[in-house]
Amino acid sequence: MNKLNRARDEESSTQLRRLLTSFLWVPTDVAGDFEGAASIYRACRANGITPGISLLA
């Protein structure tokens, strides 16, 4: 929870911790996510498309 280092004081840290722990966290497959993203990137590059920020514009 590296977001806790943004708290200004102990009270803010406690409030932030309560907020962050109140959510239902969905488990993810981090390695699978990166592998899937790399696969999509390679497929785009193979078709002459360079994915990036310009896709959002």
Say yes or no to pLDDT of 14 above 70.
yes
CA dist., res. 19 & res. 12, Å (int): 10
Q: Which two tokens stand for residue 51?
A: 């994915």
Higher pLDDT, residue 54 or 48: 48
Single pTM value for the model: 0.47
Burial 19-29 (b: 16+ CB within 10 A, else e): eeeeeeeeeee
pLDDT band at 53 (very low <50, low <70, confident <90, very high): low
Percentage of the chain beyond pLDDT 70 is 84
Mean pLDDT of 16-22: 88
Range of the domain at 24: 2-56
CA distance readout (Å), 56 to 4, 44, 49, 51: 30, 15, 14, 10
Say yes or no to pLDDT of 54 above 80.
no
Q: Into how many domains does the chain fold?
A: 1
